[in-house]
C-alpha cells in the first residue's frame, strides 16, 4: 500500500508525527507527503531525510494561498525547489480552486501560477500533482494547452471529464471520499485500475470524523475492491505499482 497524497507537515501531527510514521512503516510501502506552502518546506525535507526510502515529498504552492504569497516569495520558493530538485518526487499540489477563491482577479493569478508550475515540472522533469476544486474544466484545459504529460489528478471529482483524463493518459488518486460520494464512486468504477492511485489527504477526510492518517489508505483499497468487484490484494498490488511508476520511486 502507498498513500500517494497526505499532509504530514500539518499541526494535527505535531504531537505524534514520528509515531504515526513508524506505525505507517509497518503497513505501508511508502508515503508521499505534500508540502503546499513555503513555510512547510524545511519540516517536509526533514521528514524525507529522516525516513529515506519511505517518506517522499511533493512541493508547490497550493492555489488557496494565492493571496498571501508575494511575487518575491514565489520566485524565491521556485529557486529553492530548483536547488532541491533531487530531494523532491513531484511538484504539487498545484492547480485551481474556485470553491474558496471567487474573485476573477485571483482566479487569473491562480492560472498564471499553475502555468509556472507546469513549466517548472517540464524544466525539472518532475511529475505534477493537480488540485482542482470547482475548476476541473479550466484546469484540464490549461494542462492540455500546456501539453502537460506526467499528471496526477488528486481527488478527481468530475465524472463528465473522466474520458478526457483517461485519453490524456493521466493518473487519478482517490481517498476516503469514495465511501460517501456517488460521483467519486462512479469515477472509481470506471477509471482503469492501471490509472488509479490511493491516497488519504490526511489529516483531513477521516471516515470517523476525526484526524485521518496514512494508515487509512487500507480503507480506500477495501472500498475500491468492493466497487470494482476485484480482490483486495490485486487492487493493492496494481495501485502500489502505479504510484511507484508515476513518482519514479526507488524502493
Burial class (CB in 10 A: 0-12, 13-18, 19+), 115: middle
Residue in this structure with the C-alpha cell 491562480, named with its chain if needed? 110
Residues (pLDDT < 50) of the chain are: none
Domain coordinates of the chain in residue numbers? 2-247
In sequence order, the 6+-apart residues with CB closer than 8 A to the CB of 171 are 151, 152, 153, 195, 196, 197, 242, 246
Q: Cβ distance 215 to 28 under 8 Å?
A: yes
Amino acid 213: pLDDT? 98
Amino acid 168: pLDDT? 98
Amino acid 230: pLDDT? 97
Mean pLDDT in the chain? 98
Right CATH number for 2-247 from 3.30.420.10, 3.20.20.140, 3.40.50.2300, 3.40.50.300?
3.20.20.140
| CA torsion through residues 109, 111, 115, 120, sign | positive
Amino acid 181: pLDDT? 97
What is the rounded distance in angstroms from the CA atom of residue 41 to the CA atom of residue 104? 29
Amino acid 29: pLDDT? 98
Amino acid 2: pLDDT? 98
Amino acid 135: pLDDT? 98
Amino acid 192: pLDDT? 98
Amino acid 178: pLDDT? 98
Amino acid 121: pLDDT? 98
Q: Cβ distance 101 to 63 under 8 Å?
A: yes
Amino acid 91: pLDDT? 98
Amino acid 221: pLDDT? 98
Q: Cβ distance 188 to 171 under 8 Å?
A: no
Amino acid at each position: 500500500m502507498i498513500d500517494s497524497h497526505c499532509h504530514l507537515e500539518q499541526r494535527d501531527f505535531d504531537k505524534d508525527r514520528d509515531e504515526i510514521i513508524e506505525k505507517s512503516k509497518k503497513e505501508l510501502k511508502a508515503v508521499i507527503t505534500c508540502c503546499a506552502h513555503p513555510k512547510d518546506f524545511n519540516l517536509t525535507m526533514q521528514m524525507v531525510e529522516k525516513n529515506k526510502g519511505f517518506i517522499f515529498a511533493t512541493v508547490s504552492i497550493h492555489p488557496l494561498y494565492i493571496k498571501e504569497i508575494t511575487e518575491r516569495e514565489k520566485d524565491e520558493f521556485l529557486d529553492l525547489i530548483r536547488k532541491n530538485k533531487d530531494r523532491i518526487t513531484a511538484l504539487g499540489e498545484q492547480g485551481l480552486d474556485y470553491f474558496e477563491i471567487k474573485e476573477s482577479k485571483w482566479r487569473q493569478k491562480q492560472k498564471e501560477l499553475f502555468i509556472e508550475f507546469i513549466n517548472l515540472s517540464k524544466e525539472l522533469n518532475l511529475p505534477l500533482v493537480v488540485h482542482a476544486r470547482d475548476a476541473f474544466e479550466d484546469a484540464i484545459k490549461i494542462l492540455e494547452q500546456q501539453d502537460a504529460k506526467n499528471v496526477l489528478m488528486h481527488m478527481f471529482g468530475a465524472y463528465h471529464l473522466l474520458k478526457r483524463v483517461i485519453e490524456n493518459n493521466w493518473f487519478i488518486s482517490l481517498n476516503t471520499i469514495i465511501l460517501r460520494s456517488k460521483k467519486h464512486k462512479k469515477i472509481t468504477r470506471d477509471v482503469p485500475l492501471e490509472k488509479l492511485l490511493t491516497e488519504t489527504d490526511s489529516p483531513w477526510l477521516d471516515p470517523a470524523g476525526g484526524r485521518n492518517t496514512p494508515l487509512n489508505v487500507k480503507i480506500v483499497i477495501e472500498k475500491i475492491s468492493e466497487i470494482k468487484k476485484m480482490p483486495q490484494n490485486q487492487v493493492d498490488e496494481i495501485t502500489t505499482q502505479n504510484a511507484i511508476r508515476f513518482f519514479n520511486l526507488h524502493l
